[in-house]
Amino acid sequence: MAIDYAERIPNNVSLAENRRLQRALEQWQPGFQSWWAEMGPVGFQARDVYLRTATSVDAQGWASFGYVRMPEYRWGIFLADAVHDRKVAFGDHKGEPVWQEVPGEYRGALRRLIVTQGDTEPASVEQQRHLGATSPSLYDLRNLLQVNVEEGRHLWAMAYLLHAYFGRDGREEADALLQRRSGSDDNPRILGAFNEQTPDWLSFLMFTFFTDRDGKYQLASLAESAFDPLSRTCRFMLTEEAHHMFVGETGIGRVVQRTCELMKEHDTDEVGRFGGIGLKLMQKYLNFHYSVSLDLFGAELSTNAANYFSMGLKGRFNEESRDDDHKLKETSYRITQVDENRIVQKDQPALLALNETLRDAYIADCARGVSRWNKVIKAAGIDFELRLPHRGFHRAIGDCASVKVTPEGRLITEAEWAAHHSHWLPTPEERVFVGSLMIGVTEPGRFAGWIAPPARGINHQALDFEYVKR
Ligand SMILES: [Fe+2]
Ligand SMILES: [Fe+2]
């Protein structure tokens, strides 16, 4: 369905035909705008930024590119087209028609899922708000701001569902999404990784690779939902999310490439002196962002996850293409657990192990990206490999949260951890060093010395295109 841009709130959900909902969202809109003004990107709000805006939701050419000032970005409500005659693909309601309204008995659980997802969207904007001043190029600055406006749109997507389907408590939850603050002591965001700082561009690129990828897996499993409006919303969000992960994967790839160039030019691993980020230091950032992102999937065994699945609210990644009964009452799944101070593999009821099932899909996806970075290192003739640490390393949630695990997966004592963690995670001094490299570059076509230029520009534009105007 076409998007109506003549409306105050652009949408493809026939908002004009539902006056009550339209009015409720028009009341929420100023709150969103003041949240954006207060907590959105610092600076650049009055600049013309070369941004893409959704124009239709089909797979071909849904985006139009043009100069927009961020406060004038047309945030709105876009759902992917309905699938004709769609049926529930899993759980106790498998085979029944999908729902266009929320079943009363699942209301609380569904609202919680939507609020938890919705909370991450503004959180990441808040985490990234200071990065514009130190962007390594106009190309990168534009990508940051694109990610930010789209996370704002994802907030709209979840606020729409809350307003449209959850009555008064939905409206209250939509307001609360604008009130929590990333990193706040008294009103923090819901999930741990979204209260961490994103203080520099290396962190940002790692975040978009690892943490936005968690978003991909959460959205993909919500796209399987029997609650059809949630499914359609998430399907369209996934198309936007792909760009965020592209920013992370190509961004880290470019840092790797630049580091390899410096290593060869100066015949040393110690590229810090030459304004580069060494591969060992990059490994530490990777260890950090990967481990906090693994936590986002929750505990290995979870009755909540089992209930969400049986109720039909949240499926598995690629649920429909899986070759099993999609009910999982009799199936088992092998997971990693801590047992009497050893890390072991154990078969557990598959229904209880759904968090771990989703985490496994995520880990495999991360590994593919890391191997692409390693190809860059190998092509440069350098003998080094970036690695995903063991899944138990540096965890705050799940079985391994109670123990200390090395990146290789060996259980160690607290004392050993205290003596060695600075080999595995960035030290405060190293974070200061990375911060010291972050000097904003604003001349079109120029790039900071710690990152290589990308292979190509955005939307076929040249690398020296003025992605953000003065
Ligand atoms: Fe998002
Ligand atoms: Fe994202």
From the CA of 276, how far away is ligand 1's center (Å)? 30
From the CA of 137, how far away is ligand 1's center (Å)? 23
- Residue 176 in this model has a pLDDT that exceeds 70: yes
**How is residue 144 written in tokens?**
């940051």
Give me the pLDDT at residue 161, please: 98
Measured distance CA(38)–CA(197) in Å, rounded: 17
Work out the end-to-end distance of the chain between its first and last CA atoms, rounded to an integer number of angstroms.
36
Give me the pLDDT at residue 439, please: 95
DSSP letters for 432-445: HHHHHH-----STT
Quickly state the pLDDT bin for 59 (edges 50, 70, 90): low
Name the helix (H) or strand (E) containing 364.
Answer: helix 354-379
**How is residue 413 written in tokens?**
């004592």
| Range 456-460 average pLDDT | 95
Angle between the N-to-C axes of helices 279-295 and 228-266, in degrees from 0 to 180, rounded to the nearest 10: 160
Quickly state the pLDDT bin for 6 (edges 50, 70, 90): confident
In whole numbers, what is the pLDDT of the chain averaged over residues? 96
Q: Which ligand is nearest to the CA of 117?
A: 1
From the CA of 212, how far away is ligand 2's center (Å)? 5
Neighbours of ion ligand 1 (CB under 5 A): 121, 151, 154
From the CA of 233, how far away is ligand 2's center (Å)? 14
From the CA of 63, how far away is ligand 2's center (Å)? 16
Among the residue ranges 53-57, 284-288, 409-413, the one predicted with the least confidence is: 53-57
| Range 303-329 average pLDDT | 97
Give me the pLDDT at residue 367, please: 98
Alpha helices in 40-137 (DSSP H): 107-127
Give me the pLDDT at residue 61, please: 57
Neighbours of ion ligand 2 (CB under 5 A): 212, 241, 244
Measured distance CA(397)–CA(463) in Å, rounded: 42
Q: Which ligand is nearest to the CA of 233?
A: 1
Give me the pLDDT at residue 60, please: 60
Among the residue ranges 6-20, 208-222, 265-279, 308-322, the one predicted with the least confidence is: 6-20
- Residue 3 in this model has a pLDDT that exceeds 90: no
Q: Which ligand is nearest to the CA of 144?
A: 2
From the CA of 444, how far away is ligand 2's center (Å)? 26
Quickly state the pLDDT bin for 4 (edges 50, 70, 90): confident
Residue type, 260: C
The secondary structure of residue 433, as a DSSP letter, is: H
From the CA of 22, how far away is ligand 2's center (Å)? 26
Measured distance CA(261)–CA(276) in Å, rounded: 9
Quickly state the pLDDT bin for 193 (edges 50, 70, 90): confident
Q: Which ligand is nearest to the CA of 153?
A: 1
Give me the pLDDT at residue 63, please: 81
- Residue 173 in this model has a pLDDT that exceeds 70: yes
From the CA of 381, how far away is ligand 2's center (Å)? 34
From the CA of 362, how far away is ligand 1's center (Å)? 16
Q: Which ligand is nearest to the CA of 156?
A: 1
- Residue 86 in this model has a pLDDT that exceeds 70: yes
DSSP letters for 400-438: GGGSEE-TTS-EE-HHHHHHHHHHHS--HHHHHHHHHH-
Name the helix (H) or strand (E) containing 66.
Answer: strand 63-68
Give me the pLDDT at residue 5, please: 77
Q: Which residue has the tokens 């936005």?
A: 212
| Range 239-263 average pLDDT | 96
Q: Which ligand is nearest to the CA of 219?
A: 1
Q: Tell me if 438 sits within 8 A of 373, measured CB to CB.
A: no
From the CA of 272, how far away is ligand 2's center (Å)? 30
From the CA of 154, how far away is ligand 1's center (Å)? 5
- Residue 110 in this model has a pLDDT that exceeds 80: yes
Q: Tell me if 213 sits within 8 A of 245, measured CB to CB.
A: yes
Among the residue ranges 56-70, 295-309, 441-455, the one predicted with the least confidence is: 56-70
| Range 374-391 average pLDDT | 98
3-state secondary structure of 322: coil
Q: Which residue has the tokens 């000097």?
A: 439
From the CA of 81, how far away is ligand 2's center (Å)? 21
Quickly state the pLDDT bin for 432 (edges 50, 70, 90): very high
**Which runs of E-coded beta strand occur in 124-210?**
none
DSSP bridge pairs for 339: 342
